[in-house]
Structure 1
C-alpha cells in the first residue's frame, strides 16, 4: 500500500506541473518578447501577406469575367431599366442645377449673398412633373424667406448721399481744361517759358 500512496503523490505532482508549464512555454514562445523572434515573425507575416496579394491578383481577372458573364446574362429589359435609371439620375441632377441657378438669379436683387437663398429652400419643390421650373413659386418663397430671416437681405442704404459733382463748375466749365498728365503740364510750362523770352 505504501507504494500506491507514492504513485498517487507522483501522479498528483505531475498533474500540477503541466498547469505551470503552459505559462512558461507561453513566455518563451512569445515572439514579441525577443527582437530576433519578432523579426522572424514579421518576415513570416510578410510572406503570408505577399502570398495572399498574389492570390488576389490571380483572382481579379476571374471576378471581372464573372461580372461580364452576369451582365451578359441580364435580360434586355434589365439593361434598359439600368440605363433609364442612370439617365433619370443625370436629368434630376441637371434640373437641380438649373433650379439652383434660377434661385440665385432671382435672389441677386434682394439678398446680400444669393447662395444663401437656395440653402434655405427645398429645390425639389420648384420642378413640376414635366421638368419646368416654377419661378413664381420661387419668388414667393424668396419674399417669405426675407420676411422670416431679414438678415439675409441686402443692407438698407440709409447713409446720406454725397452730392454729385457739377462739371460745369471750375476750370473745366469755362473751356480751360487742365490736364493731369505730367507730360502735358511740363509741355505747357516749357511753352510759357519760351514765349516769355
Structure 2
C-alpha cells in the first residue's frame, strides 16, 4: 500500500470515528431528554438539565439541536419508536360500528396504559409543548375519532362525535382506569355502551 493510500485510509477512519462520536453524543442527549420528559415533564425540562443528564455542555446540546422544538421532536420520535403504536388501519377493516369501536378503544387503551408515565407528563404539560406538536396530537386524536365514527350509520351526529372524541382521549382512559380502578376491558365496555346508547344501537 502506498503512502498516499495509507493516508487516505487513515483520514477515512478518523472521519468515521468522528461521525460515530457525533451520533453517540446526539443519542445521549436524546436519551437524557426522554428521561427528563418522563420524570419531571417537558415544562420543567431545561437545556441545562438535559446537558447535565447527558454529561455534556449546553453548547454541545445546541450544536446538535438548534432549539427546544428540534430537541422535543427528536425526543418524541425516539420514544414513539420504542412503543407499540395504535393501528387504526386494522380497526378500519371492521365494518360493524361497535366491533370497530371495541377494537379501536382496546388498541388505544393498551397504548395508553403502556405509555402512561410519559403520556401523563406530555398531556399534563400541554401548554409547554411546541405548537406544532400540540397540533399533531390534536390531529391524531381527531383521526382516531373519525376512523371509529366512520362505521356508524350517522357519523355526523354531534352527540356521537362528542362521545367518541371523549372515548379516545388519554384523560378519559386515565380517569376510568388509573383514577377509578377499571381494567382496560371494563373501560372499553363502558365507553362502547355510552356510544351505543347515543347512536341508538344494540350493544351485544
**Common fold by TM > 0.5:** no
Q: So what's the TM-score if we normalise by structure 1?
A: 0.26
Q: So what's the TM-score if we normalise by structure 2?
A: 0.25
**Rg larger in structure:** 1
